[in-house]
Amino acid sequence: MGTTIGRRGLLAGAGAALFVGALESCSINAVGTKRGSPPTPTLQLLPLHASPDRITAITVCTRPFRAQGPRLDVEQVGQKTVIHNYGHGGSGWSLSWGSSGIAVQKALAVGERDIAVIGCGALGLTSGLLLQRSGARVTIYAKELPPNVRSSLASGLWTPDSRICLEDYATPAFKQLWSSMVRQSFQTYQNLLGLPGNPVEFIDSYFVSDAPNAPRRRGVAGDTRPKFAELQRELVPDLIPDSEDFGPGSHPFSERYLRRNTLMMFNITAYARLLMADFVSNGGKIEIAEFHTPNDFAKLREKVLINATGYGARALFGDESIIPVRGQLARAIPQPEINYGLFYKGVSFVPRRDGLVFQVVGEDDYYGFNDDTTAPDRGEAELAVNTIAGLYKAV
């Protein structure tokens, strides 16, 4: 144990990467090896125990994707004013503070101080907390609570433009809205760093390829389907730290090519518990309730509601603009000393402290599109783990 803590402390600032070569006085060539000696890796990554027998759970969830982006308009349902806050695709955690900030402004503009939030996932919890910070009294009504909500089954990375809308709908107005949501969320997340249990932290993540300059995902040749919007580099480049490349011989993954990026990661178990605890300690109430139609809202005492039902809005509001995008995680026994992520051959590895996450993400964002099946696929889970395990074997 003592050794582990010592290594963690040593590694903390460098994302588990030790640049031993740089500390030595001998000369270093372009790929970081000592001249006239066998290649010495300059980037050392602690070994990951990736094997299928260490899988502890396989979870499946559907992202609530809308081609036009999240729904944030105001609707009158009988006597109730409903502010929608759903349809965030693969970006719900990332955009939650910014999106909920917009919904909360609209709710407060009605002039009521008792406000209901329907839903207790990423969007419901952040809506509830932001309402409280503005002085509202809030009750969350939901049929499920964390860890039994879909938000609890996310990968846990800062991915604010992941399946957020189709390119055709990324109008100047949408881009402005999205940018403001991203910046608001990003700033809020900075206040959640360094807390006990690490609900939010930064990690280094390595995109690994067998050839130089390989695309992250290959896509499908001749694909004529509408493209998903990619907005980060265009609209918030200042929020993306520079990447760094490592050639063959300068890292432990044999003759491969690595690109290192620094990313924000959410340890969702700790983070959701923190949000729930903060909401309750601020005087928030949580009631278990299921609504079958919007008319069921009539029984609530509040006149103003934020609808944060995520994928559930499809059935509740008959909103068929929500398209399910299936995603499966293989969760594995945590390895606290590992604090770097990997991406290799369409598989993502996220070093979450509440369980390592392996996921086949496919060759493009259509992977899992319009698939609402939730049966776990053991073969896919093992493929994810074995693909990452393959990196630690010589080629």
Ligand X SMILES: Cc1cc2nc3c(=O)[nH]c(=O)nc-3n(C[C@H](O)[C@H](O)[C@H](O)COP(=O)(O)OP(=O)(O)OC[C@H]3O[C@@H](n4cnc5c(N)ncnc54)[C@H](O)[C@@H]3O)c2cc1C
Interface contacts to ligand X, rule CB under 6 A: 61-64, 86, 88-94, 118-124, 142-144, 149-151, 153-157, 159, 289-291, 308-312, 316, 327, 329
Quote the least distance from Cβ 300 to ligand X, whole Å.
11
Quote the least distance from Cβ 356 to ligand X, whole Å.
14
Quote the least distance from Cβ 214 to ligand X, whole Å.
22
Quote the least distance from Cβ 251 to ligand X, whole Å.
25
Quote the least distance from Cβ 265 to ligand X, whole Å.
9
Quote the least distance from Cβ 374 to ligand X, whole Å.
10
Is the CB of 62 or the CB of 250 nearer to ligand X?
Answer: 62
Quote the least distance from Cβ 130 to ligand X, whole Å.
14
Residue 354, number of CB atoms within 10 A of its CB: 21
Quote the least distance from Cβ 120 to ligand X, whole Å.
4
Is the CB of 122 or the CB of 208 nearer to ligand X?
Answer: 122
Cα separation, 55 vs 355, in Å, equals 9
Three-state SS for the chain is CHHHHHHHHHHHHHCCCEEHHHHCCCCECCCCCECCCCCCCCEECCCCCCCHHHEEEEEEEEEEEECCCCECCEEEECCEEEEECECCHHHHHHHHHHHHHHHHHHHHCCCCCEEEEECCCHHHHHHHHHHHHCCCEEEEEECCCCCCCHHHHCCCECCCCCCCCEHHHCCHHHHHHHHHHHHHHHHHHHCCECCCCCCEEEEEEEEEECCCCCCCCCCCCCCCCCCECCCHHHHCHHHCCCCEEECCCCCCCCCCEEEEEEEEEECHHHHHHHHHHHHHHCCCEEEECCCCCHHHHHHCCCCEEEECCHHHHHHHCCCCCEEEEEEEEEEECCCCCCCEEEEECCEEEECCCCCEEEEECCCCCCCCECCCCCCCCHHHHHHHHHHHHHHHCCC
Residue type, 323: I
